Chains A and B, each alone.
Chain A
Amino acid sequence: MPTPTKGARLGGSPAHERLMLANLATSLFQHGRITTTQAKAKKLRPYAERLITKAKVGDLHNRRMIMKVIRDKEVVHRLCTEIGPFFADRNGGYTRIMKTLPRKGDNAPMAVIELVQEKTVTAEAEAARKTRFAADEKKASEETATEVPAAETAVAEEATSEAVEVEESESDDEHPYGAGSHVALEDGSEPEGFPIKGNADSMKYHVPGGSHYDRTVAEVWFRTEEDAEKAGFTKPEGDQDAEQDTES
């Protein structure tokens, strides 16, 4: 006996549910992100991911299996040529559901379901933490060799534009935020005499021993905290709170 599907049926009849899921999946692959009710999003997720798994194989048989569900040939083409190959390195978890406020009118709980934009889970986590996993460090160092010059120029540009506002500066490629700063070395180690890490994306600086110090990849290093603050960097909130607590 076939196992019944979990949960209540969408729409009422099996045919209605099939059509709704097919339409939802088509819209999802067409737009990459759709807003729908939480119940539909939860039903759609395994359904859409199974289609993507078929698209990853992408041979004639699997394409025909997809065609049974998605009747729009343009969407099937996009699924097999773009979406499927994009997820080649990812084993499942191709979609993400985020809950939003209930709908006006019937107060139905709503959600946004989208195709994940990151190639792999580690890439996602690294982007969020702005750090690299130790296992990837070797590969990463090769990448940074190409990345760093671009980052440096960006930092330098930023610095020059800022420096014009602040003062006649001593900043150059080596010292993007004035004499108390130093650009990151290619191997990511500490430049001599510049112990404080600066994160140019968040504009925060981290002192040695701070909670985020080890995790931060520094774009720029500072000699003292004053130099960092002069350059427009701030202390991370967690550390500030700790300071305020001691004061009060």
Chain B
Amino acid sequence: MAVPKRKMSRSNTRTRRSQWKTSAPHLVECSNRACRTPKPQHVVCPACGQYSGRQVNEPA
């Protein structure tokens, strides 16, 4: 079985992990004029429960 020849240094470990990044989700305003809450695109508004003028969910 293949095994690592050398211990991975802390520096190398941390350099690798420094590339683990998060990105901010892309948010748009809800199209409901009364709501206008930022929400992910193409998703039923979590605040007012509407999507393209339709009431889908109960508002939270």
Residues of A whose CB lies within 8 Å of any CB of B are 98-101, 112, 128, 237
A72 to B42, CA, bound (A): 34
Residues of chain B lying within 8 A (CB to CB) of residue A99: 42-44
Within 8 A of A (CB), among B44-60: 44, 46, 51, 53-54, 56-57
The answer to whether A98 and B44 have CB atoms under 8 Å apart is yes
Instruction: Name the distance in Å between A178's Cβ and chain B's nearest Cβ.
Output: 26
**Pair B51/A101 contact, Cβ less than 8 Å:** no
Known: A112-B57, A128-B53. A100 touches B33 (CB 8 A): no
Is the pair B53, A100 in contact by a Cβ cutoff of 8 Å?
no
Listed from nearest, the 5 A-B pairs whose CB atoms lie closest are: A100-B44, A99-B43, A98-B51, A101-B46, A98-B44
- Interface residue count for B (Cβ, 8 Å)? 11
Task: Report chain A residues within 8 Å CB of B33.
Answer: 237
Separation of A112 and B56 alpha carbons in the complex (Å): 8
Chain A, Cβ-Cβ closest to B43? A99
**A112 vs B50: C-alpha distance when bound (angstroms):** 12
Q: How far apart sit A48 and B11, CA to CA, in the bound complex (Å)?
A: 55
In angstroms, how far is the closest chain A Cβ from the Cβ of B38? 13
Q: Specify which chain B residues have a CB less than 8 angstroms from the CB of A101 in the assembled complex.
A: 40, 43-44, 46
B43: chain A residues within 8 A (beta carbon): 99-101
Chain B positions within 8 Å of A100 at CB level: 43-44, 46, 56-57
In the assembly, what is the distance between CA of A99 and CA of B56, in Å?
Answer: 10
Q: Is the CB of A112 within 8 A of B53?
A: no
Interface residues as binary, B20-56 with A (CB distance below 8 Å gives 1, 0 otherwise): 0000000000000100000010111010000101101
Residues of A within 8 A of B51 (CB): 98
Check B56–A98 contact: CB distance below 8 A: yes
B3 to chain A, nearest CB (A): 33
A92 to B35, CA, bound (A): 33
The distance from the CB of B52 to the nearest CB of chain A, in whole angstroms, is 8
Q: Which residue of B lies closest to A33 (CB)?
A: B56
List the A side residues contacting B46 at CB < 8 Å: 100-101
Q: In the assembled complex, which residues on chain B have CB atoms less than 8 Å from the CB atom of A112? A: 44, 56-57
Complex Cα spacing A4 to B28, Å: 38
B49 closest partner in A (C-beta): A100
**Of all chain B residues, which has the CB nearest A237?**
B33
Known: A99-B42, A100-B44, A101-B46. 8 other contacts (CB 8 A): A98-B44, A98-B56, A100-B46, A100-B57, A101-B40, A101-B43, A101-B44, A237-B33
**Whole-angstrom distance between the alpha carbons of A178 and B12 in the complex?**
79
- With A and B bound together, what is the CA distance between A98 and B41 in angstroms? 12
